[in-house]
Structures are given as structure tokens and as C-alpha cells.
Structure 1
């Protein structure tokens, strides 16, 4: 495949080479590689269930140990709020109060989220602001029918001359209404971090944001800083980073030729959240908590979340101490056969790393398996339909390990693989604590632990034309495939994402 001179300039401007782009195109031709799941990870087989007494011990251990480590909370926050308000945009486009009745329209859509939105409008954190704005812009608002008022109110929430909420990054949408103020997800993450990521009166938190949004987040921090620091008694060090343009990926058409825009330029797309492994790789901290921007709760419910974060952190410290002890012993070269068996047993039973070789593992093998980034991941019981989540996966070398697998990675055309997927009991809420440094205090190069075979091809459109897009191995999927992993059950109450605007009406987002 030959690129034009202007293509080469565009590729180089991205920080890529033509060789890398050609390799991406070969991945399209290869297609998605399905993983080989051997079993669903369940309680007692890949997922630890920590009882109350042990939980409290781990929390105490975390509290006693954390001051000896550098901590940071890492929040992927580049998502826009547009999807959150999609149903409202459809309503604003389709509903005409002169021609339809609201009840009939809602029945015709069958959208229960939209029905809940209109049934409990007054409980939304931005309701008062929207009403005030709507009345100011429509002097006859009070005389209009309820249906016409609802139409105006939705337009006020969405449009640029109103609140324009769907144009905000999701982290800056009002999430929770308190007596004296309204809080965004950004603010709630800070309050939460102060309770478990603080060392010596300072909590560090890192947000990955879209390039045009950094000033918006900084502006929000300027407005809320005094309140947040007074409430928590903690100072915050807030960092921001962007997804590197060199992690963008080429798009192709259905013939696997580079997709071109109407201006005949090559079309690159962001490489998905898996590209953020590079952002994480730039961090200097040892212990990093990972949590999505929309997964927060109100202040009165946060302690339960904090306790389980500390529990995961305590588990990480316990396992990390054992890993470091074993690595130092292996490095000394003076390890008895009994100690070797103990280390092998630890790998099998604690980390669920199964050696495909039936012969006794060598010291070199054990060292290589232990000298890796470590993560402890909370897993929530799946109370709905089974999908992507925690599995035991066999790689191309025959080795079995714990992995977080998305539904799209599973070969559902294979009856055995589909059956194993249906046996999943838990799902991944993105509740992860990571150890990014080794026993010598050296940072791992996280790029060395990515499984590039876990990249994912998706069908998309651009300018009305179909294209194929390439997403890099997901941050907590293929991006961490070669890490050592521990799964721990956490309660569903710790998982409260806001996918649609109506989710803000759930109890977890309504202050008591």
C-alpha cells in the first residue's frame, strides 16, 4: 500500500509512522481475535469473598500502611454528556405539543427511562435552574399547557441559549442537589478521594480529559475549591492529561482501504480507553485507584464506597508484600526447593496463574511471573443478564490467568464458549487499585504488559458512509492482560454509574 505525500505528512503529524499505520490495517484484515475462556471466575474460583471480620482487618491494615506509599486516584473523564441526554434530544426533535399528548408519545416510545424523567422532573439537580431559565426566556410559560412546558424545559436543558448540559463533559454535569449547593461528578470524586487517597493532608487525583475541556475543569475547581477543602480538611493536587494523538488509529472502508474524508484526508479516530494506558504509564505514583467519572454517590452514602476501596487497598498491600518478599528471595539465588514450591503455590492459588508446563517451575519462570504490575479489582454480582466480566482465560501459550473480558471478545458462535460466558456470576464495575512499581521502587513500563491481540474492530459511520474503526486493547482488558490480577467481590451499592439522565433519579444520586 502506497501513501501520498500529504498522507505521510498527516501520519507524521499524528506522531505515527507509515509502518505503524500499515500494521493497523493488517489488524483489520486479520479481524477480531476471540479469547479462549476456560471458566467464568466465580466466588471461590477466581473471586474472593471477604467476610466482615477480614474486611475490617484489611481496612485497618490499609489505614496503617498507606502513609508509606505514594497514592493517586486516576479518573478517565474525557467522555461527553451527549449520550446521557440522547433520549431528550430525540424527544425535543420529535415531540410537538400541538399534535401529540405527552402520555401518548411516551407510551409510543416504550422508553421507561424517559417516562421516569418526566414523572420525577422536580428531583433532578438542575431542575430549579432550568425552570428559572425557561420562565425568563418565555414570558407566557405559566399560561402554557403542561405538555408545552415540558417541551420548553427539555429544550432549555439541552440548547446553547439554555443550560446546554449535553455539550458539557460528563464530569461537569450537575449530579447531586444538596441544601446549599449542587455538586458535579468531578466534585464528588474529590470528596471521595479525600477519604482514602490522602497522605499527609494531600490527596492527588488525575483526570484524563478531552483537549478542549481542561479549562472547564480548572474553572469548576476554582469555584468549588474553598468549599471542598474546608469540608474535607484536605489539600488537593489535581492533574490533567489528554489522550495522546499518536494513540489514534486509522479507519478503513469495507475493502480495507484507508477511509478518506470528503476532503480526501485520511481519517483517524481515538483509540478507545485502552489508549489511556500511556497516560497511566506517565504517572510517578506507586498505588493508583482507577474509577470511571460517572460512578459516584451522594455524600451520605459515600462511606460504604470508601470502606470497600480501603478493603481493596489493604488486600493489594498484603499481596504486594508477599510478592516483594518472594522476588527478593529469588533474586538472592538462595531459595530452597520448599520455598520454590511455596512460591508456585502462591502463584496458583492467590494469583490464579497456571503454568502449562507440568514440570517444576524454574526460579527464572517464577521471577518473571511475579515481576509484573499488580491489580486488585472489585467485582459486582451480576443481577441481570450475564455479559463481559471476570474469566479464567487461556492464552496462545497455553497459560491460564484471570482476565476482565468484554462480551464482544467472546466467541459466541462456539457453543462451549457461549455456555461458559453464560455461567458468569459477576461483572466489572471498574473498581481497581493498582501497584505500578516493583520491589526496588522502579516503575514498570506498562506498555510491556499489553496484549495487542485484544484490540477490537467496530463498525461505525462517517459522513453517512460505513467504516471500520480500531480500538486499542481496553484499559482494564487487553491493556492490563499481562498484569497479575486478583478479583474481590464488592457490593452492588458501590456501583452507581450515570448512563442516562434518568439515572440521576435513582436513590444513590438523591441526597437524604
Structure 2
């Protein structure tokens, strides 16, 4: 690697060895994941029966009240892809018949949670949605929704769009995650801790949105909230390459790196100290009428995991105190029955599973 390229990689905050490996993967292909067998019920997938579901639902609230619980929400995803057809419509001649997507959008405009915000903006400009529909100025409506001068939905992250419409309010996904946290993420100190990973340019807007709705939620529930943020680390980016698999350079000579996928957030996740972390993407939320199923199974999963944590800690403490046939058998049983691990045979040919 030439010194200039090496310096540019360091300036990005990347490890040159990592970038070299990335380029090699582009050139030679990516290594296959070694798969032992498909995950099926009983083999990698645990299916809760009615009795187990009831048990975990009962134990979760008490256990959670003594634990650090965090809701981890990847929230940097942009909404631009959601509106690609509307952007195409803006670039056209405004004929609604040429865009079936935009036609359906316009026909159902009143059903969207952002309808009131959109109408309020158009009224501030001396128009309205009704007036624009009457004059068939559909571009004005779409532009008001997407442009920075209007609602700016074309450049906002998904977490800040009005998603769900209620009688008394219209919620963004960020707002919905606060509500959802009340249902199953109450931990030690009667506190709901939620961590959002956001793009640096949008953190202030997330903070503004959450500060506008959080006081009402706290007053209604009596719960405390701790909201924190982090950004996807630049060191997890992937270098962009040309068709010849050489590093792609911008016009100013700098290297082009692209943000990696959600796997890059493992470092952010690792920075969080908690007993239990629920992970849920920003736009994977449902309105209140559907939340009961989410609550039930999140609590059940939480109960299962916290009970597993206790059994793991008990086994570790037993092994720390003394390595005996009994403590090894206990550890083997937890590893096999609780974690679903496969225990290899020892050099003597004896299976540790048999000890359990």
C-alpha cells in the first residue's frame, strides 16, 4: 500500500489492514459462512408453550425492576427511498395519470398522519391541500411534503416522519418507541432507558422531537426516562471501489467510504452496559391497537433471558468456587439446556453432556 493511500485511510479513522481486507474481498469474493444445519424448532429456535409463556410473563416485571434494561433503536435510516416515486413525479410534467403511485398517494392524502402538518404549511404559503387539489396542482402538494422549504420529508430520517394517526395526536416512530418502552422496558428505578443510534446531522432534530412529547408521557405514566444517542462509528465504514476494484477517489482526491449496515452498530451496542437490551429498528413499530402482542412476547423473551442470566451466573459462581464434578455438570447443563449449545466430547471420548 502506497504511503499516500495509507495516510488517507488513517485520516478516515480506519485500520489500513481492515481496508486491505475489504479490497481483497471485492477482488476475490467474500468468504462463505460455515453453516452446520438450519435452525428449526428445538434446534436453535425455542417455541414457548402456553405454560412457559405464562411463567415468563409472570416473572419478568419483578426481575426487570431489579435490572438495567435498555431499548436499543437503530435510527439513522433515511426516508428518501420511501419517496422515490414522488421525487420522479416532481421531475415530470405533473400528469397524475403517468404515476400510479403518486395518484394513489393523492387519492389517500387525508389518511396520512402528516396531513395536518402538510396542510398547515401550505396555508402558511397562502394555499391549502384542498385548494391545490381543486386546481390540480399536485406538484405543489408533493413539493411541500419533500422539500426543505416544506416539511423536508425527502431528507429526514424515518424516525422523524409522522407514521401513525390517532384521534388526539399523530406520532413519529421516535415517539412510538417511547410509548413502546413504557409497555416492556421499565427497569431498575422505575426507569425506561432508550438509546438511539442517529446520524450526527439529525441528532438535534431527534432531541427536539423527543423533548416535545416526553413530558406528557412521563406525567401520564409516572416513569422516569433516560434517552441517549450515539453515531455509527466511521471506523466501521466500507471503502468504495472502482469497477477495477481500486479505491474510489472523490474529485478532491479523498477516498470514498460508505457506511456499513446494521452490523456496524455492534460496537455501539457493546458500549452499552445493561443486563438486558431489547433491539428494534426505528420503523418497526405498530400503533397502539396492535401493541398488546408486542408487549406480551417482548416481556416473555425478557423473562426467559433474565432467568437464563441467573442460571448462567449461578453456574459461573459454582465453577469459581471449586471445579468439581457437580459444578462442571451444572455448567454443562446450563450450556446445553438453557443456551442450546452443543458440547463436544473430551479427549477421552467422554461427552460433557453425559455429566449433566
Q: TM-score of the superposition, structure 2-length normalised?
A: 0.87
Q: Aligned partners of 1:188 and 1:140: how far apart in 2?
A: 28
Q: Which one of 146, 156, 159 corresponds to residue 168 of structure 1?
A: 156
Task: Please tell me whether Structure 1 or Structure 2 has the larger radius of gyration of its CA atoms.
Answer: 2
Q: Offset at 1:185? A: 0.8
Q: What are the equivalent positions in structure 2 for 1:367-386 lying under 5 Å apart? A: none
For structure 1, the residue ranges without an aligned partner over 5 or more in a row are 367-512
Q: Aligned partners of 2:351 and 2:145: how far apart in 1?
A: 62
1:351 aligns with 2:349: no
Q: Which one of 85, 90, 93 corresponds to residue 91 of structure 2?
A: 93
Q: Aligned partners of 1:144 and 1:125: how far apart in 2?
A: 19
Q: Aligned partners of 1:116 and 1:242: how far apart in 2?
A: 36
Structure 2 counterpart SS, 1:166: coil
What residue number does 1:82 align with? 80
Q: Aligned partners of 1:123 and 1:87: how far apart in 2?
A: 19
Q: Which one of 347, 350, 353 corresponds to residue 360 of structure 1?
A: 350
Contact 2:163 2:173 in 1 (8 A): yes
Quickly say closer, same or farther: Cα 1:323–1:143, change in 2 above 3 A.
closer
Please give the root-mean-square deviation of Cα atoms over the aligned residues, in Å.
Answer: 2.8
Structure 2 counterpart SS, 1:16: coil
Contact 1:72 1:206 in 2 (8 A): yes
Quickly say closer, same or farther: Cα 1:95–1:360, change in 2 above 3 A.
farther
Q: Aligned partners of 1:29 and 1:354: how far apart in 2?
A: 36
Structure 1, 154-163 or 143-152: larger mean CA deviation = 143-152
1:189 aligns with 2:189: no
For structure 2, the residue ranges without an aligned partner over 5 or more in a row are none
User: Across the two proteins, how many residue pairs are aligned to each other?
Assistant: 351
Q: Which one of 147, 165, 175 corresponds to residue 177 of structure 1?
A: 165
Quickly say closer, same or farther: Cα 1:348–1:285, change in 2 above 3 A.
closer
Q: Offset at 1:73? A: 0.9
1:309 aligns with 2:298: yes
Contact 2:312 2:334 in 1 (8 A): no
1:236 aligns with 2:188: no
Q: What are the equivalent positions in structure 2 for 1:30-41 lying under 5 Å apart? A: 30-41=28-39
Q: Offset at 1:69? A: 1.3
Contact 1:175 1:183 in 2 (8 A): yes
Q: Aligned partners of 2:91 and 2:98: how far apart in 1?
A: 16
Q: Aligned partners of 1:204 and 1:145: how far apart in 2?
A: 44
Q: Offset at 1:139? A: 4.5
Q: Offset at 1:145? A: 6.0
Quickly say closer, same or farther: Cα 1:29–1:352, change in 2 above 3 A.
farther
1:153 aligns with 2:151: no
What residue number does 2:56 align with? 58
Q: Aligned partners of 2:119 and 2:248: how far apart in 1?
A: 45
Cα deviations by residue, 1:83-140 (Å, 9 ceiling, x for unpaired): 222222223223523xxxx34641xxxx5xx565344221100112223433553649
Contact 1:247 1:271 in 2 (8 A): yes
What residue number does 1:203 align with? 192
Q: What are the equivalent positions in structure 2 for 1:34-433 lying under 5 Å apart? A: 34-94=32-92, 96-97=94-95, 102-103=96-97, 105-106=99-100, 116-137=104-125, 139=127, 148-198=136-186, 199-336=188-325, 340=328, 343-355=331-343, 357=345, 359-361=349-351
Structure (1/2) with the larger strand percentage: 1
Q: Aligned partners of 1:54 and 1:260: how far apart in 2?
A: 56
Q: Aligned partners of 1:21 and 1:143: how far apart in 2?
A: 55
Structure 1 counterpart SS, 2:205: helix
Cα deviations by residue, 1:202-255 (Å, 9 ceiling, x for unpaired): 211111110111111111122223212112221211111111222223222233
Q: Aligned partners of 1:147 and 1:350: how far apart in 2?
A: 65
Cα deviations by residue, 1:457-493 (Å, 9 ceiling, x for unpaired): xxxxxxxxxxxxxxxxxxxxxxxxxxxxxxxxxxxxx
Structure 2 counterpart SS, 1:174: coil
Contact 1:141 1:149 in 2 (8 A): no
Structure (1/2) with the larger helix percentage: 2
Quickly say closer, same or farther: Cα 1:115–1:49, change in 2 above 3 A.
farther
Q: TM-score of the superposition, structure 1-length normalised?
A: 0.62
Structure 1, 243-252 or 211-220: larger mean CA deviation = 243-252
Q: Aligned partners of 2:319 and 2:118: how far apart in 1?
A: 64
Quickly say closer, same or farther: Cα 1:46–1:362, change in 2 above 3 A.
closer
Structure 2 counterpart SS, 1:73: strand
Cα deviations by residue, 1:431-476 (Å, 9 ceiling, x for unpaired): xxxxxxxxxxxxxxxxxxxxxxxxxxxxxxxxxxxxxxxxxxxxxx
Q: Aligned partners of 2:76 and 2:261: how far apart in 1?
A: 11
1:3 aligns with 2:9: no
What residue number does 1:383 align with? none
